[in-house]
Amino acid sequence: MFTSDGYRKAASCGWKKFIFCAGSVIMLFGIGGCRPKETSAPEPPGVTVVPATVATVANRTTVIAQVKAYDSVDLVARVKGFLRKRNFKEGQAVKQGELLFLIEQEEYLANVERAKAALLKALAAQKNATINYERQKKLYEEDAVAQITYDNAVCEKMEKDAAVDDAKAVLALAKINLSYTEINAPFDGVVGLAAYSSGNVVGTESGTLANVVRLEPARVQFNISETDLLRISREREKTGAYPKIVVRLRFQDGSEYDHTGAITFSDNHINPTTGTFLMQATFPNPHVLLIPGMYVRIILESARKQDALLVPQPAVMRDQLGEYVLVVEKESNKVGRRNIVTGQKEGLNIAVAMDDASSELKADELVIVEGIQKVRIGAIVKPVVQKSYLLETPTVFNSVPCTCKKIIYN
């Protein structure tokens, strides 16, 4: 039998079970009555693309170069003596043969006169020996003198002839030394600072008295890479001749030199330390704007232009397989890879070879410029064409004209 307390407990337990069961049924009906919401697929990432554009460009390479004097001569003293005259103003233009330094001549003039006197004496002795030889020869032919007498006359004549030749050589040397007292300009050019003033004793140990350089024309030396040399060699292989190269020069201020140059020297080996190839171009220098020691930029441009694809430089990437770009397939909007072979830079763009089998990019393909880090090959993307990345193709080399004034040498 249940007591009142037991009945209350049982009743309380029964109500709890009923409430739990009812809540469970409501939850089941509530869950069963709600439908899950349908989730929409994420939109493909947007990327900025530009079409690969065909343009006519010339192979161009820009390198740092240095101006060299066409000729440079250090004037030195070849005889010793007081420096009588310095016959020029430092830094002025000089003409070939113009007297620049004069060394005292008195000693060397005296040596010339002494050599002349010695020559006259030798000539007199030679004449006497010749007369005696002719006499003895005639008598010997008539059997009027002994063999030894004739032989002595022959030997004496030979000795006097040799003495004359020696005296002539001494005189010539004396005249040469006298000529060394005058130091003249070896060519038309500009003379530099003088190391000695008048009154100093100079000689062979004095070193350089002054330097004269020829500034017209001017030589410009530069080095090209093995890659550029290989490109030139391959173009020669295709055409059977070295490609004609237009050589331009640009100053440090960005202005372009008014004259074009010509390649006048190429080395016979590649520098093993730097991996570069030495070349030299010669430029007209009528206004003396190219000064020896000046650093400039040389632009080597092939005269033969060719078609190439232009793509923005930020689109080009590189890995172990070489250079490549990512493109968006026009029909599927899928990302693909195109291996490329690049050439020279054209403004913000870079040229891509069209005639190279290793270059897979085609004209008008959409090249990804922005958003590359958000995509992978084979992914679907949303391309947005942005043509402002492509600049007008500089088929003709443009630069700021040179406004430099002619340097006047007094």
Domain at 224, CATH number:
2.40.30.170
Check whether residue 135 and residue 90 sit in a common domain. Answer: no
Check whether residue 315 and residue 382 sit in a common domain. Answer: yes
Check whether residue 186 and residue 149 sit in a common domain. Answer: no
Per-residue pLDDT at 226: 80
CATH number of residue 198's parent domain: 2.40.50.100
Q: pLDDT tens digit string along 115-153?
A: 999 999 999 999 999 998 888 888 888 888 888 888 888
Rounded to two decimals, the pTM is: 0.59
Domain with 326, as residue range(s), is 48-57+307-389
Q: Would 164 be classed as within a structural domain?
A: yes
Per-residue pLDDT at 41: 64
Q: Would 26 be classed as within a structural domain?
A: no
Per-residue pLDDT at 177: 93
CATH number of residue 171's parent domain: 1.10.287
Check whether residue 186 and residue 137 sit in a common domain. Answer: no
Check whether residue 154 and residue 239 sit in a common domain. Answer: no
Q: pLDDT tens digit string along 163-192?
A: 999 999 999 999 999 999 999 999 888 998
Point out the domain boundary residue: 250, 275, 306: 306
Per-residue pLDDT at 66: 92
Per-residue pLDDT at 165: 94
Point out the domain boundary residue: 306, 326, 349: 306
Check whether residue 185 and residue 164 sit in a common domain. Answer: no
345: its two tokens: 């830079």
Point out the domain boundary residue: 306, 339, 369: 306
Q: Would 23 be classed as within a structural domain?
A: no
Q: Would 34 be classed as within a structural domain?
A: no
Q: Would 129 be classed as within a structural domain?
A: yes
Cis ω on the peptide bond leading into residue 217 (within 30° of 0)? yes
286 pLDDT higher than 70? yes
Q: Would 402 be classed as within a structural domain?
A: no
Check whether residue 150 and residue 193 sit in a common domain. Answer: no
Check whether residue 315 and residue 295 sit in a common domain. Answer: no
Inter-residue contact 205 to 181 (CB < 8 Å): no
CA nearest neighbour of 300 among 271, 280, 272: 280
37 pLDDT higher than 70? no
Q: pLDDT tens digit string along 73-91?
A: 999 999 999 999 998 888 8
CA nearest neighbour of 252 among 285, 298, 296: 296
CA 182 to chain centre: 40
Q: Would 267 be classed as within a structural domain?
A: yes
First to last CA, the chain: 142
Check whether residue 167 and residue 188 sit in a common domain. Answer: no
Q: How many domains does the chain have?
A: 4
Check whether residue 263 and residue 335 sit in a common domain. Answer: no
Angle of helix 147-179 relative to helix 106-141, nearest 10 degrees, comes to 160
Q: Go through 113-137 and write b for each residue having 16 or more CB atoms within 10 A of its CB, e for each that does not.
A: eebeebbeebeebbeebeebbeebe
Cβ atoms within 10 Å of 294's Cβ, excluding its own: 15
Q: Would 268 be classed as within a structural domain?
A: yes
Per-residue pLDDT at 38: 56
Check whether residue 168 and residue 135 sit in a common domain. Answer: yes
Check whether residue 135 and residue 234 sit in a common domain. Answer: no
Beta bridge partners of 155: none
From the number of C-beta atoms within 10 Å of its C-beta (0-12, 13-18, 19+), residue 106 rates as exposed
